[in-house]
Amino acid sequence: MTKNDVIADLRAQLESKIAVMKSALADSSEGASGDETKSEGKYDTRAIEAAYLAEAQAKQLALAEQSLSLFLNFEAPTYTIDDQIGPGSLVEVEQEREICFYFLAPTAGGLITTYLGCDVTVISPDSRLYQELIDKKLGESLEHPPLTVTGLE
């Protein structure tokens, strides 16, 4: 497995997430205007609540589509163990006596995939950990969270 496999899996996850979100948005939009949500009195707010839900889902869908677009256009550079960590790095760390992997992506923080049988957590620029790892080199450590960089791809 390579870093490109990790990226391909993350793209597939985003595409799947978008498909689910589109389906949910269609359902909530139908719920906002369908016969089942017609008001049965002045205190019946089902249609209003369904409309708010559809609006929020539409915003989340737009953000997910923007993330996918960024990911589709993102080309992660190849790093060697002598380089500093940068955007697109697949970083191996020892954290609490366990090996963990982080992928520094332009977006989609929080997604998880696997690499060499271990979880890879995606971290994005708005993450404190991302900011802490940038420019670190093999063997360097962080105090919060306590970890040591043990690999870089």
Note if the pTM is more than 0.75: yes
113/17 Cα distance (integer angstroms): 14
Q: What is the pLDDT of residue 50?
A: 79
pLDDT at residue 30, as a whole number: 75
* Chain mean pLDDT for the chain: 90
Predicted pLDDT of residue 1: 80
Answer whether residue 41 shows pLDDT above 80. no
Residue 134 contacts by C-beta under 8 Å, 6 or more apart in sequence? 84, 85, 86, 87, 104
